[in-house]
Amino acid sequence: MLCSTIRQILVNTERQYGPEDAVRYKIGKNKIESKSYTQLKKDSESFSCVLEALGEQGSHVAVIGATSYSWLAAYFGIVNCGSVAVPLDASLPADELCELVDRADASVLVLDEIRKDVGEAVRERCPKLRHLISMQKEESGEEALSFWQLLREHEGPCAYEPDPDKLCTILFTSGTTGKSKGVMLTQRNLAENATCLDMKIPPRTVILSVLPIHHAYCLSMDILKGISLGSVICINDSLLRVAKNIKLFQPNMILMVPLMIETMAKKLEEVSGLPDSLVKRQIFGKQFHTICSGGAYLPPAMIDLFNRYGITILQGYGMTECSPVISTTVSWNIRKESVGQLLPNCEAKTVDEELWVRGSSVMLGYYKMPEETAEALEDGWLKTGDLGYADEEGFVYLTGRKKNLIITKNGENVSPEELENKIGENRLVQEILVREQEGVIEAEIFPDYDYAKKKHIRDIRAALQQILDEYNQGAPVYKRVYSLKVRETEFEKNTSRKIKRY
């Protein structure tokens, strides 16, 4: 069912699945606690009443913390009463978080105590902040108000009906270059992005949420789409415990980025001699059937590998500026070389090799950055910055990023991502960055040293050079790699785990 506000999603689902589990999370080593859809609606509406009582209805409210039930109740309470949520990355340094809180004009901060240091810093550095609310404190005090005490004191319904086209969330990008930008998304942007496509995911599907909650991909697909389907959202408490939590929560589906998928693929490789059905049962459980992939390039071979174990990978493509999904694969129509079909609420065209998209998911613009907004939007079209096209059936194909293009001495354009994806298919290549260096194309590679050890590869540089030589044999002259740099450590990455290029 298509919804145009986030409140509609929660209200509709609560009406249908009220007493059923909405969220499950660990409260001990192997002990699970759950909250129903009725409880989530009640707690979120109580937080709406809290904001009204504080005189902050309509204000900007920053939320910092790992995925938790408190985080979810706070988010829905914020956006469903006409306020603006500003989810921030809890892993950022305190000074960066203070800067973002201030740039977002947040007057309220809801904070997880894991970042108590931020609570101390914002008092000095964020003059516009009027209220600090702790997710864990049992009682309100001078330093911070207690989230749960506030909910008890202001318990009650909130019947406010948000305007679909009003700003409801500001998400800061974590690009590989430049200053982060505050993407302004409306109720319609997020709600229609999550509900416009029927992916035939069964109601009450059990989802294990492993991605950071401040990510548009997690917020839209795990949370908003999950809730629209009446799913059970299980909260993974640590990336170090994903395997254990899969056994504990027994999910049917997980949303992942390719880096996680490739890590799991290595585990599958280690037990490749065992029967496929046994491996699946031991690692994922017999109930598990779907991985949704997004955020970066996924080698098509991964789709085939997981399919062996009865697991379907649905690859998607998007960006925060599009709430975030632009295209996604559906289980009955998979094309491995594509990043899926355009969502029903999205159209695309190619302008000078760059993919432009338009539709109800496209952002309002960047918060207080008019020049950057004007550069990104033209007559309602969002310039994605990606090189690619959509075919007649709406399948999207990408070749790289426009700003990363290498222009060779003879004027040829080379997409470094195209080369990185091709060379990176080799098991010895763990991470790769292709760039222009002193007039030639250079590949800087961080090899998989564990794999090299297992395969008794002593001269790693020579083995990598051989990989480049084999690639060069089949590549046009202008796409050949003539310089190799071998790294001993991983590349520096942003919070989305993408390599920083500059």
Average pLDDT over residues 452-465: 95
Q: β-strands 145-146, 131-134: how paired?
A: parallel
Judgement on whether residues 428 and 333 belong to the same structural domain of the protein? no
Give the CATH number for residue 299: 3.40.50.12780
Are 422 and 388 within one domain? Answer: no
User: Taking the CA atoms of the chain, what radius of gyration do you get in angstroms?
Assistant: 23
Do the domain assignments include residue 475?
yes
Closest CA to 430 of 493, 337, 336, 338: 493
Q: How does pLDDT run across 306-348, given as a tens digit for each residue?
A: 999 999 999 999 999 999 999 999 999 999 999 999 999 999 9
What's the confidence (pLDDT) of residue 28? Answer: 85
Do 391 and 459 lie in one domain? The reply is: no
- The stretch 129-144 carries a mean pLDDT of 95
Averaged pLDDT, 426-450: 93
Assign 178 a pLDDT band (cuts: 50, 70, 90): low
Residues 204 and 114 in one domain: no
CATH of the domain at 68: 3.40.50.980
Q: What does the pLDDT read at residue 8?
A: 98
Indicate the SS3 state at residue 198: coil
H helices then E strands: how many in the chain? 17, 27
Domain that holds residue 121: 33-162
Cis bond upstream, residue 324 (ω within 30): yes
383, 401, 419 - which closes a domain? 401
Is it the case that residue 407 has pLDDT exceeding 90?
no
Final residue in a domain of this structure, among 146, 162, 178: 162
Residues 83 and 106 both lie in one domain: yes
Q: Is 396 in the same domain as 420? A: no
The total number of residues written for the chain in this structure: 502
DSSP code string of 376-412: HEETTEEEEEEEEEE-TT-BEEEEEEGGG-EE-TTS-
Report if residue 86 sits inside a domain.
yes
Average pLDDT taken over every residue of the chain: 94
Residue 238 has pLDDT above 80, yes or no: yes
pLDDT recorded at residue 211: 93
Q: Is residue 179 part of a domain?
A: no
Does residue 214 form part of some domain? Answer: yes
- Asked if 331 and 414 sit in the same domain, the reply is no
The tokens 């080593």 sit on which residue? 29
Q: Which amino acid is at 352?
A: D
From 168-177, 432-441, 448-457, 478-487, the region with the lowest mean pLDDT: 168-177
Mind listing the pLDDT tens digit for each residue in 54-83? 999 999 999 999 999 999 999 999 999 999
Asked whether residue 293 is domain-assigned, the answer is yes
Residues 390 and 430 in one domain: no
User: Could you give the angle at the alpha carbon of 234 between the alpha carbons of 231 and 239, nearest 5°?
Assistant: 140
Strand partners, 218: none
In a domain, 202, yes or no: yes
Same domain for 215 and 95: no
Q: Is 24 inside any structural domain?
A: no
In percent, the amount of the chain with pLDDT more than 70 equals 98
Residue 127: asked if its preceding bond is cis (omega within 30°), the reply is no
Same domain, 104 and 64: yes
What is the tens place of the pLDDT at every residue in 193-235? 999 999 999 999 999 999 999 999 999 999 999 999 999 999 9
**Per-residue pLDDT at 177 exceeds 60:** no
> What pLDDT sits at residue 502?
66
| pLDDT, tens digit (0-9, with 9 covering 90-100), for 268-296 | 888 888 999 999 998 999 999 999 999 88
312 and 451 inside one domain: no
**Rounded distance, CA 335 to CA 257, Å?**
18
Average confidence (pLDDT) over 244-270: 91
One domain for residues 386 and 458: no
| Distance of alpha carbon 325 from alpha carbon 341, whole angstroms | 10
Residue type, 160: Y
* Domain termination site, one of 401, 417, 437: 401
Q: Does the residue 134 lie in any domain?
A: yes
SS (H, E, C) 411-429: CCEECHHHHHHHHCCCCCE
Q: How many domains does the chain have?
A: 3
Which CATH number do you get for residue 468? Answer: 3.30.300.30
Helix (H, G, I), strand (E, B) or coil at 307: helix
